[in-house]
Chains A and B, each alone.
Chain A
Amino acid sequence: MSHSTKDALLAWVLRACAVAAGLIVVLIVVFLCLEAAPALRNAGWARFFTDPSWHPNRRAADGTFNLTPMLWGTFFAMTGAVLVATPLGVLSAAFLHFYAPKGLAVYYRRLIELLAGIPSVVYGFWGLVTLVPLINRVHPPGASLLAGIAILSIMILPTIALMADAALANVPRAYLHGAAALGLSRWGTLRGVVLPAARSGLFTGVILETGRAIGETMAILMVCGNVVQTPRSLFDPIRTLTANIALEMAYAMGDHRSALFVSGLMLMGQIVLLVAAAEYIGRGRVHG
């Protein structure tokens, strides 16, 4: 086999792989659209935003299908968790690289990797039997947006911590030497040199943790209370789109089932928006 035929073969194999990967996403979207179609046909888009409540029925005419409170619920839980976890994760990575003694750093890193490996249902269970009763003592019912944010933060913390760790490790040593030569303090080096140099990696970490926060289901289902309402305080129970699907899918029929696929479609939309926003910000700020 000559070099050129090998090359051509490789190119085709790679093309096939790329098509397969792309096709999976396309197929999922097509499937979602097909399953959501009956509800969209029988109820129409508008009712998912203007109906008075979420009380689905297998016949669209007999139910109400407002998804807006769940869109807000998902958004608040995600935003809260990202706001809590990002500084914690980045600072813990900074601690690892610039403050922790070598011996400790190794164990600390293993510990965070362990945290990343715990299944979400374990976090959820812990939240349900420990965290929720604790919050209930302060402000009933305990199962709330706050509990969701707390659990989500713990769950996405390892993602951002490990990504930030990798990003900081990739900052060229010459930068550090230069900063040392200038006589910068450790904090000055971190703030003025390391973090700006690592921001592309940090940004990727934020996108990944946000994606995980949006998609998380089991833990959220157990601690958030699942009441369909737009929260007015941190102590209000919420239902996220993912929890809605998990709670009702097994029991849903007809237009109700189809409406759950509409919530899946909305979730997909939220993620598309997130990726688009990330792309936009990423081009402008990080690589510009």
Chain B
Amino acid sequence: MHSNRLSPRLGWAAACWAVLLAGCGSGAPTQATAGGASPEGAKPGAELSGKLVITGSSTVAPLCAEIGKRFEKLHPGVRVDVQTGGSSRGIGDARGGLADIGMASRALNADEADLMGHAIARDGVCVILHKDNPVAELKDEQIVAIYTGKIANWKDLGGKDAPITVVNKAEGRSTLELFLHHYKMKNTQIKASVVIGDNEQGIKTVTGNPDAIGYVSIGTAEYAATHGVPVKLLPMNGVAASIQSVKDGTFPLARPLTLVTKAEPSVLAKAFIAYARSKDVHDLVKDLYFVPLD
């Protein structure tokens, strides 16, 4: 074959890929198995040591990572490994023993009674628009009408004459679940123009499109809005979407950030959860625009 003369270059590419794949493949399982082992010598009073694997919600992960860093400083023998992958994964991993602690951005469901949930903070979900969009408030039924495609132009809502770009979240995200649950919609009814993955992509999509409407976690949205990003957080039922209104419980679209363990967590996991719920980490919770529990 004539194309044989090109093979050295292809060979190199293949070799690089093989190395990369091998790296990825061997990395993950090792961490997972190490996490299953209970820490040695972790009696009450004794210095904690061992490895703590925490997986789950991408909303809770940044907070857990920060708490983990501080926890590692307090207990030099402890390693905290935080991996993201969504609330479903967090709950699945906690149940299956792949992780010592799962992270979920919701309270536990009724069919998850075999697990223990420990709330560490609250987070709200809010609807966001581009800053240049003249619409200042939307009623619940208007949001439902927009998301189900019954209203498709901003002029019907007092805005300019432009088609609405409806930004929805991908299947399985807890933000989507919370949003659908609150507005009593089914995902099959939603007529989306864009489907996104994480909160950051939602902010980027709305800032890049003055006619877009989306919903993201309030922590992310308030952080963006206070850092010069042209987004606007819509109030709900007259309550401003802010950290404050989530904290005092008046904002309707809010959820607890939960650490999930099996009924009998290890000593190390118990210690970490107690620390994550303590006042010592409230500054970290606030730094990430979540709301600490009192």
Contacts and interface: CB of A to CB of B under 8 A. Distances in A.
Nearest to A170: B5
Contacts of A129: 204, 208
B38 interface: no
Interface in A244-259: 246-248, 250-253, 256
What is the size category of the interface that chain B forms with chain A?
35 or more
B195 A204 contact: no
Q: Is the interface of B mostly helix, strand, loop or mixed?
A: mixed
B3 interface: yes
B100 interface: no
A201 B7 CA distance: 11
B209 A136 contact: yes
B188 A247 contact: no
B194 A287 contact: no
B88 interface: yes
Contacts of B172: 248, 250-252, 256
A141 B152 CA distance: 12
A239 B193 CA distance: 11
A78 interface: no
Interface stretch (A39-47, A104-112, A182-190, A218-226): A218-226
Contacts of B192: 227
B209 A141 contact: yes
Contacts of B165: 136, 140-142
B195 A251 contact: no
Contacts of B205: 128, 132, 143
B84 interface: yes
B195 A225 contact: yes
Q: Which of B6, B163, B165, B188 has the most CB of A within 10 A?
A: B6
Interface in B141-194: 162-163, 165, 170-173, 187-188, 192-194
Contact of A256 (B84, B171, B204): B171
Interface in B1-46: 1-3, 5-6, 9
Q: Which of B86, B162, B172, B201 has the most CB of A within 10 A?
A: B172
B2 to A, nearest CB: 4
B239 to A, nearest CB: 29
A237 interface: yes
A221 B197 contact: yes
B188 A55 contact: yes
A269 to B, nearest CB: 21
Contact of B209 (A142, A167, A203): A142
Contacts, number: 104
Interface in A141-179: 141-143, 163, 166-167, 170
Interface in B194-234: 194-197, 201, 204-205, 208-209, 211-212
A78 B192 CA distance: 23
A203 B6 CA distance: 12
Nearest to B13: A208
Interface string A258-288: 0000000000000000000000000000110
Contacts of B92: 253
Contacts of B2: 200-201, 286-287
Contacts of B209: 132-133, 136, 140-142
A128 B88 contact: no
B76 interface: no
Given A142-B208, A251-B86, A56 B193 contact: no
Contacts of A228: 195
Interface in A88-141: 128-129, 132-133, 136, 140-141
Contact of B170 (A53, A170, A204, A247): A247
Interface of A: 53, 55-56, 64, 128-129, 132-133, 136, 140-143, 163, 166-167, 170, 200-201, 203-204, 221-222, 225-228, 237, 239, 246-248, 250-253, 256, 286-287
9 contacts: A128-B204, A133-B208, A141-B165, A141-B194, A143-B193, A170-B5, A237-B193, A247-B195, A287-B2
Given A247-B171, A247-B195, 9 more contacts: A132-B209, A140-B211, A141-B212, A204-B6, A222-B201, A227-B194, A227-B195, A251-B172, A256-B172
